Amino acid sequence: LIQPAGPWVRLALQMSLESEPVLRAITAVGAAHRANISVTHASLAVAMSADDKTLSRKLYGKALSALQTHIEKVKHRKAALEPVLITCLLLITFEILFEDEDTAFLHYTLARRLVDQLEADRNAAKSTFQLQSPATTNDLSSTFDRLRDDLAPLLDQMENQDSTQRELTRHIFPLRKQLSSQLTSLIAEGHALLHEFRSLATTNWQDRSDLDPAARLCLTYCHSRSVALPSTSNLATRTNILLDSLQAWSDMIATHRLGESRYAQLLRIRHFTSLFSLSTCRATSEIPTDDFTQTSTAILDVIEAYLSHSQLRTRAQSRDETTSISHDRGVLPALHIIATKSRDLSTRQRALALLRKYRRREGLRWSPVVAAIAEAVVNLEESRASAVSRGDDSLDAEFATEPMPEAARFAEIVICGARMDATHVRLVCARFEPGSSGRRIVLEEFEGEGEPLVMRATRLRAFDLGGVAWGGDVEVEVDRLCDV
């Protein structure tokens, strides 16, 4: 994730033989990578195995403790500095895997200060720290210089063009910081609510040995839309309150006219994803997504403006787009949602065009791969729409709505395959049977290869949940392997 990786990774492996913080950090990163199973929900949220996730967090805590002990030794010149820098790189990698860019930035800041002190020492011909090798510290300094370029977008809110803009920023920066903090809290609460809804459905699928992890995940997400809430649950009330709070946040952005700054643009993009996900999380049809038609168009304008500036920065710094990490994450999930969830074909195509034009990495996500998968989903739905319009007996045209028939839409999509490669992908897609009020889930599986991805149906199953208040065993009424 942090390029160029070769030199510092080799140093990390060598240092792990005698440095406890480096060894602890390596094991934490290894466990975190193993926890990242190659199954991803269409929201692009990171899917992790529970046991490995818990283990990696435990190892991460031990690495932090060992790092603190080593730093104390460095302060008294009883230990070399280089293991601190290597450990920071490993911890940043761990935090990127967990999409915790705030903590990653803190560890970067710590290491950056130490690297700057090394530079000052060289200029002053003195030595503040005990060092293992000048060549090693030079290599690490170069790595942190590169990382500084990758992290630069997080500092966009501090950029000023002229004295007037600097004066304006002096007054509005506290408000920006407040809005950012508020949105972070709202998004976290949204994730917690979605997790609770899905937890209610998880118990019905987690022990199904006849389903692989991708099918279980897809059915869980789909079933969470219709699963009955316990009589004592306050989930519905909390969801409505949070939706009101998200709307109030958006009104605040508009009131203070902060939407044109790049920092506010990124916040608006993240806000859109959270609002969309929460607003549609209990929908058993795709009709509620139509409420976001105009908003999606407006957000695409924001995204295009944001990415065009990012591209200019990347090229000005002569960085390789294929290896540069965008720590200002949130753009790819928004584009993927619009491409796969909008009913309007022109809107979907515009989102796909942006994914292809601006080559961007956010954590383990690579925009060309996201574009290829989203395009495959669009093509599958469009082909189903054509079948509905022809009156194909395999689809129920009674529920067709314009421009995209409801019977052609997918409610949930799970992606299986390498995150940086779209030449072989498996899609597990779930939808509610139109008119079933959340009672019946149709699960379809597709395999795709090539560039562009050519998908073929491999399996079709239907699950009768017994209604919205289903509380018994699921009945599988259809389980058919498709002709390939």
pLDDT per residue as tens digits for the range 69-100: 999 999 999 999 999 999 999 999 898 888 78
Classified as helix, coil or strand, 158 is helix
Buried b (16+ CB within 10 A) or exposed e, 445-468: bbbbeeeebebebbbebbbbbeee
Of 403, 196, 455, the residue nearest 289 (C-alpha): 403
pLDDT for the residue numbered 7? 79
pLDDT per residue as tens digits for the range 266-305: 899 999 999 999 999 999 999 999 999 999 999 999 999 9
Classified as helix, coil or strand, 257 is coil
The pTM is what?
0.80
Place of tokens 């073929």: 456
Give, as one character, the DSSP assignment of residue 81: S
Q: Report the distance separating Cα 468 and Cα 449, nearest Å.
A: 37
Give, as one character, the DSSP assignment of residue 157: G
pLDDT for the residue numbered 1? 55
Of 300, 413, 312, 366, the residue nearest 47 (C-alpha): 413
Q: Which residues of the chain have pLDDT under 50?
A: 155-172, 318, 393, 395-401, 467-478, 483-484
